Structure 1
Amino acid sequence: MYALKLLEQSGMNECKPCVTLMEERLKLTKASTVARIDATLYQSTIGDLRYLVHMRSDIAFAIGYVSCFMEDLREDHWATVKRLLRYVKGTVDQGIVFPKTSRSGL
């Protein structure tokens, strides 16, 4: 399953799952003063999450929000992505299923 592979690649396969996608009233900013982080893992994880949106539309808004900070990455931005990954871990059995149907039905 793609979600499990994504968790493993990002080093979050043993994380504690959570049931909420983002913190309530979360305010991230590009002018953050916390420590910078390496962009490689962040950008790779965001790319993988964007692909996961095809099967998990419930995470689309959150991924769009954290994608706004790709040029100047900080620890608080990464913490939000890690929470998103914890949500994926807690809801790994959810997704959109496209069943095979006959030509007469949708």
Structure 2
Amino acid sequence: MAVVLLLGAIVAEVVGTLSLRASSGFSRLWPSVVTVVGYAVAFVLLARTLRTLNVGPVYAIWSGLGTTGAFIGGAILYGEPVRPLTVIGAVLVVGGVALIYLGGGTTH
């Protein structure tokens, strides 16, 4: 169940981040609302996840996959450039997350 909560937190954070760009500096109402709700949901689900899983690996997974999701979403939704170095960076982030997960354990 904690893994499902964590995945939900990641999705909510990515939605919030992508909506932040669409909000144009909080000058557009609905993208601003989606941003605030997305981050609120992300933090609630992350807090619930931390009831049973260790903070280090959970935060690494949440932030790393959130970063990668925002990178991919930005490329798809906003036409942001995808260059070889950015792809290598995303692969390194995911690899680093995997190492922290494997080395840190995930349960109390």
Normalised by the length of structure 2, the TM-score is 0.29
Max Rg structure: 1
Kindly indicate whether structure 1 or structure 2 has the higher relative contact order, using CA contacts under 8 Å at least 6 residues apart: 1
Determine which structure has the larger helix proportion and give its number: 2
